[in-house]
């Protein structure tokens, strides 16, 4: 019995062929279309640690691409193709790409449950395909002595080939997964990645005794792995004996900002004990006129009141008298560079996402707190990561309390997507005159994980800002008018939009939608909007205690990384 080969049959097979034909169709739209396509890919941000890498400058050329590159292109190409074809064809192409990405995400899951072409395009060879064919014909003519024989000078017509084994074998995957297990257990990618290990050993040798040197390195590595098995048993025994002392010392380590990896993953989030001290008044004076700082201090005090368990008045707004009870003795905030968010993946593993406001990796997702949500999540851009030592005069406490918070700019749902609509969700920054609706402060414990947003290139970029603001995506160009939420960025993210499928996502969303692959029909797309209001003074009863069990693991890139992570070598 032959098992499916996802690497060669799908990523380097069906998807590569489909992408090649889409590029042939794009070439019929003129050189401007391909140039726009490449420009869009260059503007897509990476997603750490190595889930989505930075794309090359010539994606349309499809040169020197590995299987993982085709996988990244599949996960991100929908917004890049949008608007480059005729409107009636663009709808079907977007559905095709979404369906392919959806199928690919399901096929690569490590845990499964029981629930889980335009004929009027005169497509011809691309320039690269035409040049490659001509070179082969010339070499063949010279080898056979028929150099004088004329060959076809024009480009050949090329249609998408449906009569291939790789395409028709896609239907065998569900049965194969039930019979042999998840595809990551027998994927040919395991063997392909072994090439990296041999090449790495070869680079470290002196090249004089290449075979012997590589063999010696392989033997040494095998010996270290065996020693790792023995040491792991010994360390397990030691950990059990020292469990009590480790728990007692963990608090002291946290105060010093020295957290071990195991402790950091146990906690929902980690923010360092030290950071950059920022005087509040001076900060507000330096950024006077910035719309992000309108009512900054009153809203911040509202957030602190919620943290102290103080209820607002009947109109859900805090009074000035209540805000006067909040005192920051030093008059400063402590700004941190990063925040590590730990969470549980769909396959009940643990990992971390790093949120860094100074880079492009600053988008997060939280649970939708509406009573009847039409979307499971809220999205926000993290402007800053802070903590403050705060006193509440009415509680008669002598020691200040450390309160951590994220300063965020909210995004709202502009157009609903979903599995039945074959569309990604499109979001935009909240367009409101109220700073409470546009900006806010949230507890890091409410963050589910970071997210990957792709600009909606079809809707272009917003107008250039009249005045600078620390909340803009780009200080010169301003914000993108819309973003697409990339639900295919990794396996865990895809399963988060499939309620009831992710084993490790218990209580992860309050969305009432049920993921049903049997009833997926493309309906009429109607724009929908929601206004996130997770701000102090508006939802004082919010409880973040249920959001403490979230984390993800990335696939190991090579045998070396498996050894290093499993045995701490």
Is the predicted pLDDT of residue 127 greater than 70, yes or no?
Answer: yes
Instruction: Give me the pLDDT at residue 403, please.
Output: 94
The pLDDT assigned to 522 comes to 37
Section 485-504 average pLDDT = 89
Higher pLDDT, 471 or 463: 471
Mean pLDDT for 76-92 is 93
- Assign 247 a pLDDT band (cuts: 50, 70, 90): low
Q: How far apart are CA 472 and CA 464, in angstroms?
A: 10
Are 494 and 515 in contact by the 8 Å Cβ rule? The answer is no
Distance between CA atoms of residues 11 and 70, nearest Å: 6
Report yes or no on whether pTM surpasses 0.75. no
In 460-560, beta strands by DSSP E? 483-485
At 436 the pLDDT is 65
250 pLDDT more than 60: no
CA distance 453 to 52: 12
Neighbours of 247 (CB within 10 A): 10
Eight-class DSSP state of 278: E
Q: What integer pLDDT is reported at residue 254 of this predicted model?
A: 43
Rounded distance between C-alpha atoms, residue 79 and residue 75, angstroms? 10
Q: CA torsion angle for 214, 215, 220, 222 (degrees, to 10)? A: 110
**Mean pLDDT confidence for 414-427:** 92
Task: Look at 169 and 306; give whichever has higher pLDDT.
Answer: 306
The answer on pLDDT for 202 being more than 60 is: yes
What pLDDT score was predicted for residue 482? 92
The domain spans of the chain are 6-123+158-191, 261-512+563-567
Q: Residue 244: its pLDDT value, please?
A: 59
Give the count of beta carbons closer than 10 Å to the beta carbon of residue 231: 14
């Amino acid at each position: 019995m032959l098992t499916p080969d996802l690497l060669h049959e799908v990523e380097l097979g069906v998807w590569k062929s489909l992408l090649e034909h889409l590029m042939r169709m794009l070439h019929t739209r003129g050189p401007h279309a391909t140039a726009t396509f490449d420009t869009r890919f260059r503007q897509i941000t990476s997603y750490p640690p190595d889930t989505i890498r930075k794309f090359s400058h010539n994606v349309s050329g499809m040169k020197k691409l590995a299987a993982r590159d085709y996988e990244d292109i599949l996960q991100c190409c929908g917004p890049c193709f949008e608007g480059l074809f005729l409107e009636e064809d663009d709808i079907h192409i977007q559905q095709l790409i979404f369906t392919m990405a959806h199928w690919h995400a399901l096929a690569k899951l490590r845990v499964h449950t029981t629930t889980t072409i335009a004929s009027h395009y005169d497509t011809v060879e691309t320039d690269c395909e035409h040049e490659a064919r001509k070179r082969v014909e010339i070499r063949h003519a010279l080898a056979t002595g028929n150099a004088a024989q004329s060959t076809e000078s024009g480009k050949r017509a090329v249609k998408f080939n449906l009569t291939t084994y790789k395409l028709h074998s896609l239907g065998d995957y569900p049965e194969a997964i039930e019979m042999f297990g998840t595809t990551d257990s027998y994927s040919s990618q395991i063997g392909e990645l072994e090439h990296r290990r041999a090449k790495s050993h070869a680079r470290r040798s002196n090249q004089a005794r290449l075979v012997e040197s590589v063999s010696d390195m392989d033997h040494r590595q095998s010996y270290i792995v065996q020693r790792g098995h023995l040491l792991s048993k010994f360390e397990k025994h030691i950990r059990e004996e020292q469990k009590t002392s480790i728990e007692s010392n963990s608090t002291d380590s946290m105060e010093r900002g020295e957290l071990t990896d195991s402790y950091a993953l146990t906690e929902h989030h980690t923010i360092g004990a030290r950071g950059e001290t920022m005087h509040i008044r001076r900060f507000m004076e330096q950024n006077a006129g910035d719309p992000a700082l309108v009512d900054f201090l009153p809203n911040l005090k509202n957030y602190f009141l919620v943290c102290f368990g103080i209820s607002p008045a009947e109109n859900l707004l805090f009074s000035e008298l209540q805000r006067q009870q909040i005192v920051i003795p030093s008059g400063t905030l402590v700004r941190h560079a990063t925040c590590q968010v730990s969470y549980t993946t769909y396959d009940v593993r643990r990992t971390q996402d790093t949120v860094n406001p100074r880079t492009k990796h600053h988008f997060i997702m939280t649970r939708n707190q509406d009573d009847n949500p039409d979307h499971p999540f809220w999205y926000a851009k993290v402007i800053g990561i802070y903590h403050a030592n705060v006193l509440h005069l009415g509680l008669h406490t002598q020691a200040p309390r450390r309160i951590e918070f994220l300063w965020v700019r909210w995004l709202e749902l502009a157009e609903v997507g979903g599995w039945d609509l074959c569309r990604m969700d499109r979001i935009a920054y909240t367009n409101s005159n109220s700073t409470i609706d546009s900006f806010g402060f949230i507890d890091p414990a409410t963050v589910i994980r970071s997210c990957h947003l792709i600009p909606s290139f079809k809707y272009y970029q917003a107008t250039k800002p009249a005045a600078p603001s620390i909340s803009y995506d780009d200080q010169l160009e301003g914000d993108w008018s819309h973003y697409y939420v990339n639900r295919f960025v990794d396996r865990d993210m895809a399963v988060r939009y499939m309620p009831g499928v992710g084993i490790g996502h218990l209580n992860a969303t309050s969305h009432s939608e049920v993921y049903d692959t049997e009833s997926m029909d493309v309906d009429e797309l109607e724009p929908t909007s929601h206004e996130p209001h997770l701000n102090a003074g508006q939802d004082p009863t919010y409880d973040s205690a249920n959001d403490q069990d979230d984390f993800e693991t990335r696939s190991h890139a090579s045998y070396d990384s498996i050894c290093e992570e499993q045995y701490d070598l």
